[in-house]
Amino acid sequence: MENNIIHRLELLFEHWKGNKPEETKLIPASGSYRKYYRMKGAGKSAIGAFYDNPPENNAFINLSIHFLSQGLNVPEIYLVGTDHKTYLMEDLGDSVLFDHITEIRQKSGFGSELMTIYKMVIDELIRFQMIAGKTVDFSVCFPSAEFDGQAYMWDLNYFKYNFLKLAKITFDEYKLEENFRNLVQILLSADNSYFVYRDFQARNIMLHNHKLYFIDYQGGRKGTLHYDLISLLFQARAEIPHEAREQLIDYYIDQAKIIDPKGVENFRFYFYKFALVRILQTLGAYGFRGLYEKKQHFLESIPKAVENIKWLLENNKISSELHELINCLKIMVESPEVRQLIKPPLTLHISSFSYKRGLPADLTGNGGGFIFDCRGLPNPGRYPKYRELTGKDQEVKDYFDQYEEVDDFLDHCYALIKQSADTYLSRNFTSLSVSFGCTGGRHRSVYCSEKIATMFDEHPDIQLNIHHLEQE
């Protein structure tokens, strides 16, 4: 299959330039099932695209031609295959606006430089919506010409089936559907005569020749102004501060008002209602790609989208009559089970052992971990009354509790383990081995293992697996 796709794209390149490409490389996929290849030859470069969905391809191709005619920065379409499953388009390079924004934010926070960039993006968005969008042939759009009630219900049910159900959040399905229908009725009362890009966010904007270029509008259709601005400002991983977001909404209204004052009447009345639907649709996508397909990038985006929902709840941006939906969202925001689905827990494999029998084997497959030598601590095993007991018995615990050096030892152990555990959690590692050894593996090592376990037993993202090897 792969070789066949490459062959067909290379034939297109040859028809376009008269020579076969000297190099064809697959571009790593992100959230799309489409395949893209960078093709170079005769001093030229192009992106070869394949997707086994001609209607969607035609939507992208026709919209590209229209936007180019309106002076918008989108990729030029060079050539289309006869089956409409393959096409060649302009190579815009690899510089994605989201990466540029992230780099700036890490260096200097969300300041005036990023506000300027977002305002430039908003200016271009308005051109898509209000200028080029007014003359779009919506009959070419896929899967429908208009963002109608069915499309909104699809987004909401996408969230229900691909997030709520996969996260095992309980709800009254009848009442939730009723809430969905009521919400959709409000959305449908907004003016829907504009172009909706559908996925207008910083990952779909390229930096090419010091200009912004726009891609991935194949799902565009007729609809309202709000949806695309929300896609941009509520992009989960962009983490735009709420104050900056409010300023950018005001900027959008002021600029759009210059072109079409009527279009932004009552803009804020609808804005957060559409924001709710867009964030839920995004969570549905993250649920499908993350919880179902187990793609880590999408799992990592879920907490930030959940934070956006939390903000809507805390700031009363969700209509109070949507009782069942609000109940679901509160459970989602507060649920430790959802947190564990989003972020795989770290298992601490804690064990005690006897040095007489050698070091314990690592059963996690990772190698390494901590091994702490308890033989420098006071030893109750020297006394007959403790000899048959273990570090789990109260008499032995009382013995150790009288020695300050035992607490100091455990504090140092805990600090080392915690430092590694925090790093492992941030990198989504799932296993860390911690072993305590003493001469017989009964008293000091068992006591220390149990004590360390209690220090971690209430950590929401850590699970404990304790083994006392000598006793087993």
Q: With 80 as the cut, is the pLDDT of residue 342 above it?
A: no
Q: What is the pLDDT of residue 363?
A: 63
Taking the CA atoms of 285, 288, 291 and 293 in sequence, report the sign of the dihedral they define.
negative
User: For 106-124, how does the pLDDT look when each residue is reduced to its tens digit (9 = 90+)?
Assistant: 788 899 999 999 999 999 9
Q: What is the mean pLDDT of residues 46-52?
A: 96
* Residue 357 DSSP class: G
CA distance 408 to 403: 9
For residue 454, how many other CB atoms are within 10 A of its CB?
Answer: 9
Q: Sorting pLDDT into bands at 50, 70 and 90, what band is 31?
A: low
Q: Sorting pLDDT into bands at 50, 70 and 90, what band is 330?
A: very high
Which of 30-34, 37-41, 151-155 shows the lowest mean pLDDT across its residues? 30-34
CA distance 135 to 138: 9
Mean pLDDT computed over every residue of the chain: 92
CA distance 286 to 164: 11
Which of 84-88, 98-102, 424-428 shows the lowest mean pLDDT across its residues? 424-428
Q: With 70 as the cut, is the pLDDT of residue 344 above it?
A: no
Q: What is the pLDDT of residue 360?
A: 84
Q: With 80 as the cut, is the pLDDT of residue 443 above it?
A: yes
Higher pLDDT, 342 or 383: 383
Q: CATH number of the domain at 97-342, out of 3.40.50.360, 3.40.50.150, 3.90.1200.10, 3.40.630.30? A: 3.90.1200.10
Q: With 90 as the cut, is the pLDDT of residue 334 above it?
A: no
CA 60 to chain CA mean position, Å: 25
Q: What is the mean pLDDT of residues 1-15?
A: 92
Q: Output the pTM of the full model.
A: 0.72
**Extents of the domains making up the chain:** 2-90, 97-342, 346-468
User: For 258-310, how does the pLDDT look when each residue is reduced to its tens digit (9 = 90+)?
Assistant: 999 999 999 999 999 999 999 999 999 999 988 888 776 787 788 888 989 99
Instruction: Give the type of residue at 366.
Output: N
Instruction: Give the type of residue at 55.
Output: P
CA angle, residues 164, 166, 168, in degrees to nearest 5: 65
Written as six digits, the tokens of 188 are 């449908």
Q: Given 3-state DSSP classes, what are the helix, strand and coil percentages for the chain, each rounded to the nearest 5? A: 55, 15, 30
The top-level CATH class assigned to 2-90 is alpha beta
Q: With 90 as the cut, is the pLDDT of residue 176 above it?
A: yes
Relative to beta strand 86-90, strand 194-196 is: unpaired
Q: Which of 308, 440, 317 is nearest to 382 (CA)?
A: 440
Q: What is the mean pLDDT of residues 196-200?
A: 95
Q: What is the pLDDT of residue 147?
A: 92
Q: What is the pLDDT of residue 304?
A: 84
Q: Is residue 369 within 8 Å of residue 348, measured between CB atoms? A: no
Residue with tokens 């989960």: 236
Q: What is the mean pLDDT of residues 199-218?
A: 96
Higher pLDDT, 81 or 295: 81
- Residues forming beta bridges with residue 49, ordered by sequence position: 36, 87
